[in-house]
Chain A
Amino acid sequence: MSKIKSITAKREFRTFLFLIVLFVVVGIVNTDFLSINNIANSLKSSLLYIVLAVGMTFVLLTGNIDISVGGVLGLSAAVSGMILRDGGSFLVAIAVAILIGAVIGLINGLGVTKLKISSFIMTLGMLEITRVVQVIYTDGQWVENLPIEFKQLSQLSFMGMNVLSIIVVVSVILVHLYLSRSRRGRYFAAIGDNEDGAVLLGIPVERYKTLSFVISSVCASLAGLIFATQIGFISTTAGVGIEMTVIAAAVLGGVSLSGGVGSVIGAGIGAIIMISINSALVYMKVPAYWNDAISGSLLIIIVVSDALIARNASKQAKKERLNTRVLQEEVRESYAK
């Protein structure tokens, strides 16, 4: 019983273990890395990646992919940034950002489910479109001079802990409970696991796929808001290339690219790892350009080992199936009686 439980938890556990090892190893080289301050900072700078990875997990679970998150992040950050700069209220800015995310997500989702465009192509196109819309909307200018009260949102603390971090961590846990414990939350993984089976059970597959894209884009918008409050200005290149980091984080956290497997907690820890590697290299005095190569190799190692395991399992299953068909000696004896 307990043994089986640990197997089901294995993927997240493995990621978490990796995170610990990372901190311990770097900590041995440079003890400053283990300071509470640095750990808190790592978490803080991972926040927007965690939010993105949570959204991405929904899409990956259904067996799709969302490349457009960087564009959505940039666009909604820029639009709501301009509202704030021009004296608009926080609530309006937040609502507009979420609306932008929801609309783009809906378009992505409908393109994938109704027009049957592969999610990679659909969201890749959307990435380019949102980037251009952002440039047109901002006239190619950076959005600066955000109100100081907005920037302070990221600095709020409660009993010595960063409020934003608390909100994000609590949300991740709630989303995890939704996905793993609730009746409908399980549908996302079911769709990626066995789509035909899901259809036969009467799960509204297209609706949930569309919903996953909406969730991913809304998360990207929220990440855009976090970006605005943490950085304080929005450049035209805000969030460029971020989709690769986020997908890598999710996969590192045990979310399968072929769908059906993974949890938002794993994806969140994956995001922390991706960001911690950055600062770890600084602490180990390794030139920063090694960063991408190292996270890239990590990604390949994990994906390849996952694929090998899966391939072996399916080969084994096929073999087993073929062999049980063959007439066995025992059968013959019994028929002869």
Chain B
Amino acid sequence: MVSVRNLVKLENIQKSFNQNKVLKGVSLEIAESEVISIIGGNGAGKSTLMKILTGVYKADDGTIEINSEKIHQYNPRLAHEKGIYLVPQEPLLFPNMTVEQNLTIGFNKDKSDVKEQSKNLIEELGWDIDLNRLANSLTIAEQQQLEIIKGLLREAKVLILDEPTSALTFSETKSLFTVIEKLKSSGVGIFYITHRLDEVFQISTHAVILRDGKVTLKGKIEKFTKEMLIKGLLPEGNENRYKDKFEKKLVNRENEEPILKVENISGDGFRNISFDVFKGEVVGLGGLVGAGRTEIAEAIYGINQVSSGKVYLNGDDITKLGINETIESGLSYIPEDRFLHGIFSISSIRNNITAQIIKRQGFFLKKKFEKKVTNEYVERLSILLSNQEDEIKSLSGGNQQKAVIARILSTNPQLIIMDEPTRGIDAAARSDIYSIITELKEQGYSILLISSDLEEIERISDRIFGIYRGVCNAFLGLNEINATNVMKVAFGTYEGSETYVEN
């Protein structure tokens, strides 16, 4: 083998945000003509690592070598100079400028030179982009192509593609792969971040798996199978590692009518989704961020419209109902982003808890009644607070979420959709929320749990439906729920999944 030039070498990179250690000593190197796939679950540290590589973040510890030369005082400008270019997942173009203006802006070169170069590049790559079009008229794929051209114009030696295919159609993906092949043979090193295991085997020369801020698996792609990659993604010794278990039991529901029945709904971001939720159970919707689960929840709740299919609650068709009527019929939703949609952050805790129930009272508010309701739920959910009148944002994340649950319970729903209920909540409070969810289940509430935290969904769901790229492709019964299967479901490789392929 001819000796290949090493482009970038990262050694023992560490990075924490506040107390949270995101990268715990990652070492990685890339040489000419290598395509390294970086795989990892949500929050594994992939984007942090890439931001360090492009100089956006500063590493707490560790060294960066570019072209065998140690780099100090790293920043984005230097990264560009050294030929490291990131093609972000959501392209950062100037929508009101033409393609040509987008290419030439911020360049210290003659504009006609840049134009000439871009024309040559576009021709070489076999793309068809009119330089005079406005950037906001481009499709996502074209915007991405534009970003890649921007990188190549800067004579990038190392290209980082952050989930480039997440917004591409199949044929667009194919043409992207051709380009990657071309770049590879011209000596460019490529970091390819993805969730799609099929693609890893299609285009990469090496694979790296990142979990919990550490590299758990690294090597030539020929040495791996899909099974091995999935295994690398899983926490070690994954069975029975929790202190507290949450009770689940198998119930025969053959003769029972489901509380929620979703029949073949399609809409923006999802297609042909069917599942059901029975009384007193927790049903998990598993999958990765961006798989389309929030869109499904919003469609059921009535925020978005479905284009086809039906949603039944207790046998009543609620497909076309607005949000207000949906709540009245007994369905509640705890949204994904607590700060944006979940709480009224500068209102008092009491006002937050009673925000939905006061509608059912008379025209004037009854303070006594509000106090009574608040007291009841504060006790029932053991919300830690010093005064009901305090602003809710003074509470910890876990207690805020409990207050949200209290508000939802006050409307007396039959089914609660919880979207990422423990995001940004510390471990102890998480357990609390899990106990609350389990208790609610025993009291006869039904819960549809959406979570990207694979551990969470594994621990508290009675049944799991897997959502992968907008389709429902897998079902796990109580006995099939374990970390491996949940991981497989999220990456679309569970046996019985429609996308499953033998390797």
Residues of A within 8 A of B (CB): 1, 4-5, 7-8, 183, 186-187, 189-190, 193-194, 196-198, 200-203, 256, 260-261, 313, 317-328, 330-332, 334-336
Contacts and interface: CB of A to CB of B under 8 A. Distances in A.
B450 to A, nearest CB: 16
B96 A261 contact: yes
A178 B450 CA distance: 52
Given A201-B105, A202-B76, A326 B292 contact: yes
B470 A326 contact: yes
Given A190-B97, A328-B170, A322 B134 contact: no
Contacts of B270: 326
A194 B105 CA distance: 13
B139 A193 contact: no
Given A196-B92, A197-B92, A335-B499, A325 B470 contact: yes
Interface residues of B, number: 46
B292 A322 contact: yes
Contacts, number: 104
A327 B468 contact: yes
A260 to B, nearest CB: 4
Contact of A327 (B93, B140, B168, B471): B471
Interface in B145-193: 166-171
A200 B270 CA distance: 33
A190 B140 CA distance: 20
B96 A332 contact: no
Instruction: Name, among B76, B80, B140, B268, the residue most crowded by chain A CB atoms within 10 Å (CB to CB).
Output: B268
Contacts of A186: 97, 101, 105
Contacts of B471: 326-327
Given A326-B270, A326-B470, A8 B94 contact: no
Contact of A260 (B94, B132, B271, B291): B94
Contacts of B198: 335
A321 B169 CA distance: 10
Contacts of A331: 170
Contacts of A326: 269-271, 292, 469-471
B79 to A, nearest CB: 10
Given A202-B76, A326-B269, A193 B96 contact: yes
Contacts of B107: 183
Nearest to A7: B134
Nearest to B80: A202
B69 to A, nearest CB: 22
A306 to B, nearest CB: 12
A200 B55 CA distance: 11
B130 A325 contact: no
Across chains A and B, which 7 residue pairs bring their CB atoms closest together, nearest first?
Answer: A326-B470, A322-B269, A201-B106, A197-B92, A327-B469, A193-B94, A322-B268
Given A186-B101, A327-B468, A321 B136 contact: no
